[in-house]
Amino acid sequence: MPVTILAIESSCDDTSAAICQNGKMLSNCVANQSIHERYGGVVPELAGRAHLQNIVPVVEAALDQAHVTMKDLDAIAFTQSPGLIGSLLVGAQFAKSLALSLNIPLIAVQHMQAHVLANLIDDPKPEFPFLCLTVSGGHTQIVKCSHPSALEVIGETLDDAAGEAFDKSAKLLGLPYPGGPLIDKYAKQGNPLRFKFPEPQIPSYDFSFSGLKTSILYFLQEKTAANSNFIKDNLADICASIQHRIITILLNKFKKAAIETSITQLCIAGGVSANSGLRESFEVMGEKNGWSTFIPAFAYCTDNAGMIAITGYYKYLDGDFSDLNVTPSARSEW
Ligand code: KG4
Ligand code: ZN
């Protein structure tokens, strides 16, 4: 009998539903919320309301695309933490109600673990143990994964996440939210070595991006005081130089972790792993050192229910189910 799981992800500003059968993804539907663009960031209150509007049509679309009906479902997985509490509550409440009405198990999934396990959706898959650099809008972590249920954070950001470093830099350049994809776009035409930004010297596997943000702010203040068109005239080189520094901060730490743990299977995950410069530099680093590198398909890098479904599938195999009185949590519970 196949194991069919419906997964729901609603931790931030995207409402997503996916169907996976025996670990194979049959559908992965995402409704984006464009409403936040005009505010320069996600407005939690609006995100919660939009999830309420989107969740039923998104779940229906996921079932339709997978050619699956409610009665084929064996379990409901949902994002339990971390995230915006109003957003998490919508997905959690929907998942609970459905599990209760269908009388099937409920599976609570941790969003950051799911980003890591997105690497187990498509072939080729990494062998265990592997290291994953998870880079999203809210988190930056290096995770050691010895088994789908054995994940250990060995390094993380002390302040801003990598995605925030992209988005806050973009904001300083006058670009709309989320600025990460735009920096990526302009960086393609720019010289990454034109402007030099500092690399923090932290001995552990931890990251820091707040110093970079401050140095970019002072750099732009000084340059625009001398030439008010500085940003417009040099946008591609500025974006390429900022992106280059964010990538070197990330990959130098990841390389150190790989060398010191002797783990040769390396993955990246999270929204920032959609960055073309990071993807390329990561693959070059793997080739140079004889390491195997893995990056999930684009649709499984940014927030998506597919990654919740694959994590839910492994939890299903372990019999790791949740009580119906489980509550979502804004903070990460690893
Ligand atoms: O994982 P994600 O979709 O949501 C969170 O859980 O945070 O990550 C969103 C982050 C945003 O900061 C966005 O700017 C960044 O991923 N991002 C990118 C790119 N695409 C998305 N950053 C740099 N280059 C990209 N191409
Ligand atoms: Zn995420």
The answer to whether the beta carbons of residues 189 and 239 sit under 8 Å apart is no
Nearest CA to ligand 1 atom 8: 271
Q: Which is more confident, 35 or 292?
A: 292
Q: Which residues face 20 on adjacent strands?
A: 5, 25
Nearest to 275 by CA among 179, 158, 144: 179
As a whole number, mean pLDDT of residues 300-315 equals 96
Supply the pTM of this predicted model: 0.94
Taking only the tens place, the pLDDT of each residue in 276-298 is 999 999 999 999 999 999 999 99
Could you tell me the domains of the chain?
Answer: 4-117+300-318 (3.30.420.40), 125-295 (3.30.420.40)
Instruction: Tell me 301's DSSP state.
Output: T
**Residue 334 pLDDT > 80:** no
Taking only the tens place, the pLDDT of each residue in 214-260 is 999 999 999 999 999 999 999 999 999 999 999 999 999 999 999 99
As a whole number, mean pLDDT of residues 29-50 equals 81
Protein residues within 5 Å, CB atom, of ion ligand 2: 136, 303
Asked whether 182 lines ligand 1 (CB < 6 A), one says: no
Pocket probe for ligand 1: among 166, 243, 308, the residue whose CB has the most ligand atoms within 8 Å is 166
Per-residue pLDDT at 46: 86
The mean-pLDDT minimum among 35-39, 42-46, 250-254, 300-304 falls in 35-39
**Residue 45 pLDDT > 90:** no
Asked whether 178 lines ligand 1 (CB < 6 A), one says: yes
Asked whether 302 lines ligand 1 (CB < 6 A), one says: yes
As a whole number, mean pLDDT of residues 91-106 equals 98
Distance 36 CA to ligand 2 centre (A): 17
As a whole number, mean pLDDT of residues 43-68 equals 93
CA distances to 75, 122, 143, 202, 309 from 96, in Å: 11, 28, 29, 43, 15
Distance 258 CA to ligand 2 centre (A): 23
Per-residue pLDDT at 138: 86
User: Which two structure tokens, joined as six digits, stand for 287?
Assistant: 């080739």
**Dihedral angle at the C-alpha atoms of 219, 222, 226, 230, nearest 10 degrees?**
30
* Ligand 1 atom closest to the CA of 139, numbered from 1: 7
Q: What end-to-end distance do the CA atoms of the chain give, in Å?
A: 31
Distance 306 CA to ligand 2 centre (A): 12
Q: 275 falls in which pLDDT band (50, 70, 90)? A: very high
From CA 154, how far away is CA 287, in angstroms rounded? 24
In the block, residue with structure tokens 């409402």: 15
Asked whether 296 lines ligand 1 (CB < 6 A), one says: no
Taking only the tens place, the pLDDT of each residue in 309-323 is 999 999 999 999 999
From CA 134, how far away is CA 250, in angstroms rounded? 10
- Specify the long-range contacts of residues 138-145, CB closer than 8 Å, at least 24 apart: 138/12, 138/82, 138/163, 138/164, 139/112, 139/270, 139/332, 140/207, 140/209, 140/250, 141/112, 142/205, 142/253, 142/254, 142/257, 143/112, 143/113, 143/116, 144/261, 144/263, 145/116, 145/117
User: Which two structure tokens, joined as six digits, stand for 277?
Assistant: 């410069």
Pocket probe for ligand 1: among 136, 249, 300, 304, the residue whose CB has the most ligand atoms within 8 Å is 136
**Residue 99 pLDDT > 90:** yes
Q: 36 falls in which pLDDT band (50, 70, 90)? A: confident
As a whole number, mean pLDDT of residues 17-36 equals 91
As a whole number, mean pLDDT of residues 304-310 equals 98
Pocket probe for ligand 1: among 15, 37, 272, the residue whose CB has the most ligand atoms within 8 Å is 272
Pocket probe for ligand 1: among 156, 302, 307, the residue whose CB has the most ligand atoms within 8 Å is 302
Q: Where are the beta strands (DSSP E) in the chain?
A: 4-9, 14-21, 24-32, 75-81, 106-110, 130-135, 140-147, 150-156, 265-269, 292-294
Per-residue pLDDT at 100: 98
Per-residue pLDDT at 218: 97
Please name which ligand lies nearest the alpha carbon of 276.
Answer: 1
